[in-house]
């Protein structure tokens, strides 16, 4: 019997798990995929929003601003990159300038600090590659950029170090109430008993909610396509450049990433398909045209990959984080669309506090708040790096040439808590395969390491779990003869 089961190991579930790991409680996270960060948390703009966009008085606004405030300390504790590069909302039509003032006022009401409305000249001085049509901009210095994989993985690892269990490849199929008020969760991997449930299942959170409540929820999947550009284009802008928002959202942004690439996107198309993460030619063309409206000379020939993510949109466009009225001891995190990544530390804190109070949870004496990231040799001096390679030659064996990732880093990714078991697991933890060739060269070498270290046969190694196998069978025997 667990005290709390969290359903879903995205950024929401992992933030909740980390907060709960502070307390004396048996906590378990159930995740249908083979790793953390396999849902929307892996496919978004990676912006820590300042908080001027969400409606005044909404839970979204409150948690966005609080999450933004918490980010510096959290990222320091978890040893992950976070940069406050500042956001600019750019106005390109004179008649829309009033809209910047509305956003500014909303930001002030939401508690966003230090914003400023910039003239055309001030905006161009800060960002010379803005469109020639720029009329003015709203500048929010508290906006930032983060690595969504590292944030999610680090919170999960830290929760795990503090005793939270994670069960992967475990899909929740049904939930029923026992006579004693506890919950029985049926999964493809057996049954689980728990006193409390936290529903953090992203675009599937309506399905999970509807298993326990008569008041049905409906999530609309709102797809966003992206292009990611090579690091050579990474300094085309230094701030996150937004257009003015519309009723479909914050619009197509252009931003540096925390790892030095340039990201362009997303589109916003309602699709009603929980697995519809394919990009479309129209979507990519649309986002490129829209990005060009606000930023000039975008080097779109430097696109290295495209991808799409699904927003978990609710009609009322606000987060719903509450105990379900007709299902006591079941906590929903519904409608966690953007700014869900920015808000995640605050969502974790809110759910943690709710459960602490409801369950009379006591703090652990030995809670570990910090965790070390994978050692990055590129941050060392040349002398320190040589010393490291002398001690451990695996750090001198470069596996991913585009991103300069060594075997030592991949071994660390595999053998740390909740370690990588697939190519994408290695990629998200180390960046091996994230570069210009998009894993063309390093995949076979990473597979050799996974084979050797985890005892997985080549046929068992996947790109990202499930049926994403890379090698299906041998076509030649060891001597090279046809099998
Ligand atoms: C296009 C786009 C751009 C965005 N940009 C930003 C941004 O710049 N900044 C920002 O703050 N936010 C942004 N967001 C929002 C942010 O990405 C999400 O709010 C956040 O990632 C949601 O995290 P989650 O953990 O709730 O969901 P997910 O990451 O989807 O995690 C849910 C998990 O639940 C699991 N699951 C589902 N069903 C079951 C089941 N039956 N059993 C077990 N496990 C299950 C899934 O496999 C998944 O791992 C963006 C979103 C999109 C789509």
CA of 200 to the centre of ligand 1 (A): 9
Which of 7, 34, 40, 333 gets mutated to test ligand 1 (max ligand atoms within 8 A of its CB)? 40
pLDDT band at 483 (very low <50, low <70, confident <90, very high): low
Does residue 44 have its Cβ closer than 6 Å to ligand 1?
A: yes
Atom of ligand 1 nearest to the CA of 30: 43
The pLDDT, as a whole number, for residue 482 is 67
Return the percentage of the chain with pLDDT > 90, whole number: 96
Helix (H, G, I), strand (E, B) or coil at 161: helix
Pairing of strands 398-400, 220-229: unpaired
CA of 309 to the centre of ligand 1 (A): 8
Does residue 341 have its Cβ closer than 6 Å to ligand 1?
A: yes
Q: Is 87-141+220-306 in the same CATH topology as 1-83+145-218+314-373? A: no
Average pLDDT of every residue of the chain: 96
Structural domain 1-83+145-218+314-373, CATH architecture: 3-Layer(bba) Sandwich (3.50)
- For 63, 475, 481, the CA distances from 74, given in Å and listed in that order, are 15, 49, 55
Pairing of strands 183-187, 136-140: unpaired
Residue 378 CB-density burial (10 A; 0-12 exposed, 13-18 middle, 19+ buried): exposed
pLDDT, one tens digit per residue, over 72-116 is: 999 999 999 999 999 999 999 999 999 999 999 999 999 999 999
Residue ranges per structural domain of the chain: 1-83+145-218+314-373, 87-141+220-306, 377-454
pLDDT, one tens digit per residue, over 237-250 is: 999 999 998 877 88
Name the nearest CA neighbour of 28 among 180, 187, 179, 219: 187
The yes-or-no answer on residue 415 being catalytic is: no
**pTM for this entry:** 0.97
Does residue 309 have its Cβ closer than 6 Å to ligand 1?
A: yes
Residue of the CA atom closest to atom 14 of ligand 1: 338
Say if residues 61 and 55 touch (Cβ distance below 8 Å): yes
d(CA 190, CA 188): 6
CATH fourth-level superfamily of 87-141+220-306? D-Amino Acid Oxidase, subunit A, domain 2 (3.30.9.10)
d(CA 34, CA 319): 27
Say if residues 325 and 45 touch (Cβ distance below 8 Å): no
CA of 472 to the centre of ligand 1 (A): 31
The pLDDT, as a whole number, for residue 248 is 75
Atom of ligand 1 nearest to the CA of 340: 19
Mean pLDDT across the stretch 409-432? Answer: 98
Does residue 64 have its Cβ closer than 6 Å to ligand 1?
A: no
Does residue 51 have its Cβ closer than 6 Å to ligand 1?
A: no
CA of 314 to the centre of ligand 1 (A): 14
pLDDT at 481 exceeding the cut of 80: no
């Amino acid at each position: 019997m667990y005290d709390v089961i969290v359903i879903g190991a995205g950024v929401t579930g992992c933030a909740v798990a980390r907060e709960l790991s502070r307390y004396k409680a048996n906590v378990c996270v159930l995740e249908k995929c083979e790793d953390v960060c396999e849902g929307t948390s892996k496919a978004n703009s990676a912006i820590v929003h300042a908080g001027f966009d969400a409606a005044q008085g909404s839970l979204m606004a409150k948690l966005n601003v609080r999450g933004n405030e918490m980010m510096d300390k959290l990222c320091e504790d978890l040893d992950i990159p976070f940069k406050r590069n500042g956001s600019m909302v750019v106005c390109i039509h004179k008649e829309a300038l009033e809209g910047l003032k509305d956003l500014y006022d909303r930001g002030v009401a939401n508690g966003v600090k230090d914003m400023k409305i910039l003239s055309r000249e001030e905006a161009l001085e800060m960002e010379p590659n803005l469109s020639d049509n720029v009329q003015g901009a709203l500048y929010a210095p508290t906006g930032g950029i983060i690595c969504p994989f590292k944030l999610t993985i680090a919170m999960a690892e830290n929760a795990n170090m503090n005793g939270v269990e994670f069960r992967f490849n475990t899909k929740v199929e049904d939930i029923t109430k026992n006579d004693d008020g506890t919950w029985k969760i049926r999964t493809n991997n057996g049954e689980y008993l728990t006193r409390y449930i936290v529903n953090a299942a992203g675009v599937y959170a309506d399905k999970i909610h509807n298993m326990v409540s008569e008041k049905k929820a409906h999530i609309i999947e709102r797809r966003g396509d992206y292009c990611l550009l090579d690091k050579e284009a990474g300094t085309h802008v230094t701030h996150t450049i937004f257009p003015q928002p519309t009723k479909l959202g914050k619009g197509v942004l252009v931003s540096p990433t925390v790892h030095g690439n340039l990201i362009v996107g997303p589109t916003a198309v309602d699709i009603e398909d929980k697995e519809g993460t394919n990009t479309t030619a129209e979507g990519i063309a649309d986002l490129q045209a829209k990005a060009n409206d606000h930023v000039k000379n975008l080097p779109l020939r430097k696109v290295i990959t495209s991808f799409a993510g699904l927003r978990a949109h609710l009609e009322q466009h606000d987060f719903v984080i509450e105990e379900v009225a007709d299902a006591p001891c079941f906590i929903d995190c519904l409608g966690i669309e953007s700014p869900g990544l920015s808000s995640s530390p605050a969502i974790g804190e809110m759910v943690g506090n709710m459960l602490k109070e409801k369950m009379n949870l006591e703090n652990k004496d030995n809670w570990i708040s910090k965790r070390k990231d994978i050692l990055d040799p590129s941050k060392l001096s040349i002398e320190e790096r040589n010393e490291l390679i002398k001690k451990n030659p695996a750090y001198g064996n470069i596996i991913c040439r585009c991103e300069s990732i060594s075997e030592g880093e991949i071994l660390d990714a595999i053998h740390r808590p909740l370690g990588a078991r697939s190519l994408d697991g290695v990629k998200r933890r180390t960046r091996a395969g994230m570069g210009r060739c998009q894993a063309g060269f390093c995949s076979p070498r990473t597979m050799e390491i996974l084979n050797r270290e985890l005892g997985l046969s080549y046929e068992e190694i996947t790109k990202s779990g499930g049926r994403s196998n890379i090698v299906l069978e041998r076509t030649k025997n060891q001597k090279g003869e046809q099998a």
